Amino acid sequence: MPHRIYVGNLSYRASEQELRDLFSGDGSRVEAVKIVNDSNTGKSRGFGFVEVTTRQEMERETKRLNGFLFKGRNLVVGEAKANFEKAERRRAAQV
């Protein structure tokens, strides 16, 4: 089962291939890369997701790349949370 990594504060000029190259540069096996685009403009929203094969790779890449300067911006890298966890946080904040 792949392990999903959130990548935030991405340069709007970053490509999925560049992100794949960055995450696989330390020997990690990248299974998928997705930069999220605005549905109206088609332009990057400045964040995306990378899937790696093992939890160890996810932990190593998170530690290695969180705060890393990439295309003029310091990346925010961490384990991606499941959608239901985000929904719970939003509900709790509204109470």
**Which tens digit of pLDDT belongs to each residue from 9-51?**
999 999 999 999 999 988 889 999 999 999 999 999 999 999 9
Those residues with Cβ within 8 angstroms of residue 69's Cβ, 6 or more apart along the chain or in another chain = 75
- Whole-angstrom Cα distance, residue 48 to residue 78? 11
Q: How many domains does the chain have?
A: 1
Residue 76 and residue 69 in contact, taking contact as beta carbons nearer than 8 Å: no
Tell me which of 75 and 2 has the higher pLDDT. 75
Q: For residue 26, what are the domain limits?
A: 3-94
Report the CATH number that the domain containing residue 16 is assigned in CATH: 3.30.70.330
4 strand-pairing partners: 51
- Average pLDDT on 65-86 reads 88
Q: What is the DSSP letter of 16?
A: H
**Other C-beta atoms lying within 10 Å of the C-beta of residue 36:** 13
